[in-house]
Chains A and B, each alone.
Chain A
Amino acid sequence: MSYEPSALRLQREEARRRVSRHSTVVALLSTLTIGAVLAIVVTGAPGFKLVRESFFNPHYARTAFPSVLSGLWLNLRVMIFAEIFVLIFGLLIALARTSKSPILYPLRLLATVYTDIFRGLPLLLVLLLVGLGVPGLQISWLPNSAVTLGTISLILTYSAYVAEVIRAGIEAVNPAQRMAGRALGLSQSQTQRYVILPQALRKVTPPLLNDLVSLQKDSGLISVLGAIDAIRAAGIETAQSFNFTPYLVAGALFVALTIPLTRFTDWLTRKQDRARVQQGQW
């Protein structure tokens, strides 16, 4: 015998569909209204023509696009390189800060001082100190390329942020987990590796990705050392034409770069939430 939904169920589903249709219509209408009001306010502004001319000029967008894109390639290489090292160093610093052994006290102290200093120092200052100060030492084997030194500065600063995020994750894992791991016969390091870190990293994935997105955008700051990234390329184009459209092109490319990472974060968070609901962990 085939499955026949009860009359009550059909009625319930119909009611649900009605509510859903109703909310779709309301959402559509409110979006259209807000959109129309915004469009009227912006396009009706007395200076709109001027703003459109200097910020949304298709001619300059086209001419600036190739050089901005080649600048973005530099951003991309810098950010990927920096992200890998930031995750490694961040993890190491977090492990050092959360260590308990008395023999590791100097390491703990060092890690604490490091995060204090590099979280406090503005990135721009680190860039100038590392990017112009290090080559100023005139030591021949040290790098003096703007891109290398800029990437090192990004790694220095962001490792401190990421270390704090990972530390928060490690400390959020219930101490009973560590004891349980030890009671099962795992060594201190095995407990860390198989019990604590997987839980800790899962807890801090969204804020971690947040820092990585922020790093993506800050990768452009290395242009103060002379490297031509997307923003700097846009600046050069703008200086030649006195038209700001190239900056908008760079902005659009950055957003296009960030959206996949943001969506990935959302997806990951939702997946974790669902898994927890199913496991009854709320």
Chain B
Amino acid sequence: MKMKYGIALVVTALIGSLSIGYTASAAYAAGACKAGALSTLTTGTLTIGTDDPAYSPWFDNNKPADGKGFESAVAYAVAKQLGYSAKKVKWVKASFNTVIQPGKKAFDFDINEVSITPERAKAVDFSTGYYDVAQALVTTTKSKIAKAKSIADLAKAKLGAAVGTTSYSTITDVIKPKVKPSVFDTNDIATQALINGQIDGLVLDLPTAFYVSAAALKNGLIVGQFAPKAGSEQFGLVLSKGSTLTSCVSSAVDALRVNGSLKTLASTWLGNTAGAPVLK
């Protein structure tokens, strides 16, 4: 089902997640989330999943365990908040399909740029959001959309996105070009298609867009970002549906948001992403 939700739905979802956050904090205070002694997969260890390869700038050099990169840093911060030292954290490889599969998962929570939507929340549990994300359009200076100033300028562009991303929904629901978009398995293949001129532009989340345009493309540039209301798209940690850890993990994320850690980590690892013009 396409993700066309009325604002009302988004608002309800936000209110919903806020109230979950609230009750979770209450549970946290009441000691239901015993530091370092949650009912994790392996007692005494927090197992965290992410995909292989894990991409920059979310991770560093495909090494989730080095604590570098935004999501790696957030994962360790959440672990610390829950009472698990870095030594008690174990990383496992979890591809997209194993993250969304039904039933018990091989991790306590997964961190891999997964956007929270009410539709997805029927199949898995999400923590509260740890990052407000916007989608952005990357291209090369040679491309015909390099000088596009508005969404209307993109009508005839052949755009691409990676499968399983809300970037694709941004193409189909926000940009709505007349040319059928291309959908790739990974950002790597999509980037190669952009270099080859097989697509005119590539939609990515903003931090990845900055990374790709600077590191992966020789003459890359960001056409602009599609800025919805703040907080309308957020990345969340993924847990098994009905996991007993969800409320504890959520309150840990909430605590990190309140004390400013999330903001600090974002500016450390994702840098300044304010430079992209907003396309309307």
Q: Which residues of A contact B (CB under 8 A)?
A: 47, 50-51, 53-55, 60, 63, 128, 132, 135-136, 138, 144-146, 223-228, 232, 235-244
B165 at the interface (CB under 8 A from A): yes
- Give CA–CA (A63, B180) in the complex, Å: 19
- Shortest B201–chain A CB gap in Å is 13
On whether the beta carbons of B163 and A47 are closer than 8 Å, the reply is no
Q: Which residues of B contact A (CB under 8 A)?
A: 1-3, 96, 100-103, 117, 119-120, 122-124, 160, 163-165, 168-169, 180-185, 189-190, 192-193, 195-199
> A228 contacts which chain B residues (CB < 8 A)?
180-183
- Known contacts A240-B169, A241-B122; is-contact A232 B183 (Cβ 8 Å): yes
On whether the beta carbons of B184 and A144 are closer than 8 Å, the reply is no
Q: Which of B101, B103, B163, B193 contacts A236 (CB 8 A)?
A: B163
- Give CA–CA (A227, B189) in the complex, Å: 12
- Known contacts A224-B185, A242-B124; is-contact A54 B102 (Cβ 8 Å): yes
- A146-B193, A243-B123 provided; 16 other pairs, C-beta below 8 A? A47-B103, A54-B101, A132-B192, A132-B198, A135-B193, A136-B192, A144-B198, A145-B198, A223-B183, A224-B184, A225-B182, A225-B184, A225-B189, A226-B190, A236-B164, A236-B168
- Shortest B144–chain A CB gap in Å is 14
Main SS of the interface on chain B? loop
> A146 contacts which chain B residues (CB < 8 A)?
182, 193, 198
- Give CA–CA (A242, B100) in the complex, Å: 6
- Give CA–CA (A223, B196) in the complex, Å: 17
- Shortest B101–chain A CB gap in Å is 8
On whether the beta carbons of A240 and B102 are closer than 8 Å, the reply is no
- Shortest A225–chain B CB gap in Å is 7
On whether the beta carbons of A132 and B196 are closer than 8 Å, the reply is yes
Chain B residue nearest to A149 in the complex (CB): B198
Q: Which 9 A-B pairs have the closest CB atoms?
A: A226-B182, A239-B164, A242-B123, A135-B196, A54-B102, A242-B100, A50-B102, A63-B1, A242-B120
